[in-house]
Structure 1
Amino acid sequence: MLFQVGGQGTRPTFFEMAAAQQLPTSLRAALTYSLGVLALRRPFLHKILDFDDEFFALLMMVLESHSLRTTDASFSESLYGLRRRSIKLVLNKSGSNVDSNDNLHRSCLGRRQKVLSVVFLVVLPYFKSKLHSMYNKEREARLQESLWGHDDGRLDDIDYFFHQGEISQTRVEFQNMQDSNMIRFKKKIMAIVGACYPWVHATNEGLSFAYQLLYLLDATGFFTLGLHALGIHVCRATGQELMDSSSRLSKIRSGELERLRGPPWLKSFQRALLNCVYTTLDYAQTGLIAAVFFFKMMEWWYQSAEERMSAPTVYPPPPPPPHPKVANDGIPLPPDRTICPLCSQKRVNPSVLAVSGFVFCYSCIFKYVSQYKRCPVTLLPASVEQIRRLFHDL
Structure 2
Amino acid sequence: MLMQVGGEGDRPTFFEMVAAQQLPESLRAALMYSLGVIAQRRPIVHRVLDYSDEFFAFLMLILEAHNVRTADASFAEALYGLRRQPVEIVTDVTQKKSSLPSRAGLTRAQKSLSIFFLVGLPYIKAKLQGAYTAQRGSALQTALWGSSSAPVEEVVPHNNRSIFQRWKLNLVAFLTYSFPWIHATHEGLSFAYQLLYLLEATRFYSPALYLTGVYVRRASGQELLDGTKHIQERRNHDYERIRGPASLKAVQRGLLKSLYTFLDYAQTGLIAGVFLFKMMEWWYQSAEERVMAPTIYPPPPPPPPPKVAPNGIPLPESVRTCPLCLQRRTNPAMAAVSGYVFCYPCIYKYISQYKRCPVTLIPADIEHIRRLYKDA
CA distance in 2, matches of 1:389, 1:12: 65
Residue 78 (str. 1) matches residue 90 (str. 2): no
In structure 1, C-alpha distance between the alignment counterparts of 2:349 and 2:234, rounded to whole Å: 102
**1:345 Cα offset (Å):** 0.8
User: Over residues 139-198 of structure 1, what are the superposed CA-to-partner deviations in whole Å (9 max), with x where a residue is unaligned?
Assistant: 55566667777789842599x9xxxxxxxxxxxxxxx97x74432121122234446556
Counterpart AA for 1:336: S
Larger Rg computed on CA atoms: 1
For 1:72 and 1:331, the matched residues in 2 are separated by: 93
Contact 1:355 1:386 in 2 (8 A): no
Corresponding position of 1:89: 90
Equivalent residue for 1:109?
A: 106
1:130 is matched with which residue: 102, 127, 130?
A: 127
Q: Is the 8 A contact 1:338 1:346 kept in 2?
A: yes
Q: 1:347 to 1:132 in 2, by over 3 A?
A: same
Equivalence for 1:24:
24
CA distance in 2, matches of 1:192, 1:373: 71
C-alpha distance after superposition, 1:262-281 (max 9, x if no partner) = 667993x7666555443332
Aligned equivalents of 1:331 and 1:190: distance in 2? 80
Of stretches 211-220 and 54-63 in structure 1, the one that deviates more from structure 2 is: 211-220
Deviations 1:35-62 (Å, cap 9, x if unpaired)? 5566566655443343232122111101
Are residues 1:60 and 2:86 paired?
no
**Mapping of 1:197-276 within 5 angstroms?**
197=179, 201=183, 204=186, 208=190, 221-256=203-238, 259=242, 267=250, 274-276=256-258
Tell me the SS of whatever aligns to 1:351. strand
User: Shift of residue 333 of structure 1?
Assistant: 2.4
Q: Hey, what does 1:314 align to over in structure 2? A: 296
Distance in 1, Cα, partners of 2:358 & 2:67: 90
The offset of 1:223, in angstroms, is: 4.2
**Cα gap change, 1:22 to 1:297, in 2 (>3 Å):** closer
Instruction: Determine the C-alpha separation between the residues in 2 that align with 1:202 and 1:309.
Output: 41
Q: CA, structure 1 residues 262+350, in 2 after alignment: closer, same or farther (shift >3 Å)?
A: farther
SS in 1 for 2:342: strand
1:382 aligns with 2:363: yes
User: AA paired with 2:171?
Assistant: I
Kindly report which structure 2 residues correspond to 1:290-309, keeping only aligned pairs within 5 A, or say none: 290-309=272-291
- Whether contact under 8 Å (2:306, 2:338) holds in the other structure is yes
Instruction: Give 1:189-204 correspondences, 5 Å limit.
Output: 189-194=171-176, 197=179, 201=183, 204=186
1:21 deviation in Å?
3.5
Counterpart in the other structure of 2:117: 120
Distance 1:223 1:325, change over 3 A: closer
How has the CA–CA distance of structure 1 residues 129 and 298 changed in structure 2, closer, same or farther, with 3 Å as cutoff?
closer
When the two chains are superposed, the root-mean-square deviation of aligned CA atoms in Å is 4.3
Alpha-carbon distance in 2 for matches of 1:221, 1:104: 22
Determine if contact 1:21/1:76 at 8 Å carries over to the other structure. Answer: yes
* Offset of residue 30 of structure 1: 5.0
Q: Secondary structure at the match of 1:389?
A: strand
Larger CA deviation: 360-369 vs 342-351: 360-369
C-alpha separation between the residues in 1 aligned to 2:149 and 2:354?
76
Change (3 A) 1:353 1:112: closer
1:155 corresponds to 2:156: no
Deviation at 1:293, TM superposition (A): 2.6
Matched pairs, number: 362
Alignment of 1:4-19 (within 5 A): 7-19=7-19
Distance 1:186 1:270 in 2: 45
Q: CA deviation at 1:314?
A: 2.2
Structure 1: runs of 5+ lacking an equivalent: 94-102, 161-175
Cα 1:72–1:327 change in 2 (3 A) is closer
Aligned in 2, Cα 1:312/1:20: closer, same or farther, shift over 3 Å?
closer
Question: Please, which of 306, 315, 318 is the counterpart of residue 333 of structure 1?
Answer: 315
Mapped contact 2:73–2:83 kept (Cα < 8 A):
yes
- 3-state DSSP class of the match of 1:292? helix
Q: 2:30, 2:273 within 8 Å by CA — same for their partners in 1?
A: no
- Percent identity of paired positions between Structure 1 and Structure 2: 56
Specify the SS of the correspondent of 2:103: strand
Amino acid at match of 2:89: K
After superposition, what is the alpha-carbon deviation per residue over 1:65-100, rounded to whole angstroms, capped at 9, x for unaligned? 12123322111111221112444334879xxxxxxx
Between 291-300 and 149-158, the greater mean CA deviation after superposition: 149-158
Deviation of 1:138 after TM superposition, in Å, equals 4.8
Q: Conserved in 2, the CA contact under 8 Å of 1:349 and 1:389?
A: no
Please give the per-residue CA displacement for 1:206-252, whole angstroms capped at 9, x wherever unaligned.
66566556656666554445445544343321111111111222333
1:352 CA displacement = 3.5
In structure 2, the residue matched to 1:69 is 69
Question: 1 CA distance for matches of 2:24 and 2:164?
Answer: 35
Aligned to 1:301, the other structure's residue is in SS state helix
